[in-house]
Structure 1
Amino acid sequence: MPTLYVPSEDDIRRWIKQAVEEYLNDALVKNIPSQPAGEEQLLCRKEIAGLLGISLVTLHDWMNRGLPCHKQRGRVYFIRSEVMDYVKANHRGTFHRRQAA
């Protein structure tokens, strides 16, 4: 006779949290279209925030945490490839690291 496993509330919460984390991590990387090599374009704050699907407040927080940016004449610009490398290296497992902390 097979054994029936009844998950606890904590199990269900953990499973949902893991599923959401995986979805968000994959969606963040997949929703950013790739650009042909050699065409490095400077993007403003609004453009890069829209590209990443984050708010300007979150963008500012990421800049404080090391998101590569270039300041020229009081304005801030981003190089798409640098931002993509930063996101892939630092934010792919963000939700998972917070859970472990």
Structure 2
Amino acid sequence: MEIINNEALSQCIREAVRAELQEHFRTGSTLPPQEERLLSKQELAAELGVSLVTLTDWMKKGLPFLRLHKRVYFKKSEVLKIMTTKIKD
């Protein structure tokens, strides 16, 4: 026994998706901001075009980093923020 046919179900889904998309674009995204991916020392050094030794020196001078289970990670936004502030000073 069929309660709803495939065409009616398909139409119902299309209308629901259309309504959700219209609401999404009308009110803007309500999703929480995506968390920033952490960069390893190697990744950050490659992105900045510096050696690991230089990066370690910068860490000693106050470059912000996180230590997780004996590993060091960086938030690129924090690194760029402090670098631009230091340049302005």
Question: Does TM-score exceed 0.5, indicating one fold?
Answer: yes
Query: Given the alignment, which residue of 51, 54, 58 partners 2:50?
Result: 54
The separation in 1 between residues aligned to 2:48 and 2:83, in whole angstroms, is 9
Question: 1:74 maps to which residue?
Answer: 70
Name the amino acid aligned to 2:36: E
Note the aligned Cα RMSD (angstroms): 1.8
User: Which of 14, 20, 41 in structure 1 is aligned with 2:37?
Assistant: 41
TM-score if structure 2 supplies the norm length? 0.58
Corresponding pairs, count: 57
* 1:56 Cα offset (Å): 0.4
Q: Hey, which bits of structure 1, 4+ residues long, moved more than 3 A?
A: none
State the AA in 1 paired with 2:51: S
Residue ranges of structure 1 left out of the alignment (5+ in a row): 1-36
Larger radius of gyration: 2
Give, in angstroms, the shift of residue 89 of structure 1. Answer: 1.5
1:13-53: CA deviation from partner (whole Å, max 9, x where unpaired):
xxxxxxxxxxxxxxxxxxxxxxxx74511000000001111
Structure number with higher relative contact order (C-alpha < 8 Å, ≥ 6 residues apart): 1
